[in-house]
A = this chain, B = another copy of it.
Amino acid sequence: MAETPGGENLLFLTDEQLRKGIEAMFFAYRGFTADPDRILEGMDYGRAHHRAIHFIHRSPGTTVSNLLAILGVTKQSLNRVLRTLIEDGLVRSEKGKVDARERHLHLTDKGQMLERELSDAQRARMRAAYRAAGPQAVAGFRQVLEAMMDPEMRRQYNRLKEGG
């Protein structure tokens, strides 16, 4: 067996193991988005709306700039989504008091309800997967995902982790 100088087994780094991980990510991400997608189809919303709703719920009062940084899309793209959410009364946008150029975003009660429905579905799947795999597996899961992020995204992720 392949061993490091330190005696560690390196078989988990073979191309074959990496390929399995790649395919697991592909298939799992489909499952990950499947339930919210199902809920949203038929409404006029899509995955982009879900993401906006999620992060506004996560950081109430966040600004458009913040959201842009987290979502990694252009303001035009985000604005299209945000506009419909505001028009439909799911999101409230209010001028900042300290800096009036900024818009602070909140979910309305209606927005909270949809957020709840979406995240309940997504959490149910996640909970089932966590339960099936067990706490140790979950710790590993999170470690690998975190190591897979771009540094900038890891910063965003950790900021959310702490802030919440």
Contact = CB atoms under 8 A, between A and B. Distances in A.
Contact of A148 (B18, B129, B149): B129
A12 B130 contact: yes
B27 A156 contact: yes
Interface residues of A, number: 64
Interface string A8-20: 1101110111111
Interface in A110-164: 119, 122-123, 125-150, 153-154, 156-157, 160-161, 164
B142 A21 contact: yes
A130 B125 CA distance: 24
27 contacts: A15-B123, A16-B164, A19-B58, A19-B119, A19-B123, A20-B142, A21-B126, A23-B160, A23-B161, A25-B28, A27-B153, A27-B157, A28-B146, A28-B148, A30-B149, A31-B150, A31-B153, A126-B148, A129-B144, A129-B148, A133-B144, A134-B143, A136-B136, A137-B144, A139-B140, A140-B144, A141-B141
